Structure 1
Amino acid sequence: MLTFTALTCALAVVAFTARRVTGRIRELAEVRAAARALRVFTDAVGRDLSVGARPVEAAGHGVAALAEAPEGEGRTGGAVVDRLRFRVGLVRLGADPAATDRGHRADGADAPDVTDQWFRLWAVADRHGLALGRLSDRMIEDLDARLTHLGHTSSALAGARLTETILLLLPVGALGLGQSMGLSPFGFLTGNPLGVLLLLVGVVLACAGVLWAESLTVTVLGGVGRRAGPAGLAAARVLDTFAESLVAGLPVADAWAAATETGDRDRDRGGDGDGDRDLARVAALLSLGAGPAAWEPLRRDPAYGPVARQAAGQTRSGARLAGGVRAQAARLRREAADRSLAASERVLVVVAAPLTLCFLPAFILVGLVPLVVGFAGI
Structure 2
Amino acid sequence: MYVSELLSFWKVDRNMKSTCKALLLWVGLGIMTSGAVWEMTPEDLGQYIEKKLRRNDRSLKLNEKIIHESGAKFLANSPLLESITVLKIYKGDIGDEGVRALAQSRYLKNLKELSIENNGVTDVGARYLAESPYLGNLETLNLFNNKIGDAGAKALAESQTLSGLLDLNLNYNEVGDAGTLAILHSSSFKRLVHIGLAYNKLGKEGAQALKDFRLRQKIEEWKATDSLENLEKNYIGDRGVMILLESPYISEIQELNLSNNNLTDEAIVALANSSKVSKLRSLRLAGNYITDRGAEALAKSESLGNLKNLDLNFNYIGDEGAFALAKAEHLSQLEMLRLGQNRIGFEGARALDQSPYLKNLIYPIFGFY
TM-score norm. by structure 2 comes to 0.23
Structure with bigger helix share is 1
Larger RCO: Structure 1 or Structure 2 (Cα < 8 Å, ≥ 6 residues apart)? 1
Q: Which has a greater percent of strand?
A: 2
* TM-score normalised to structure 1 length: 0.22
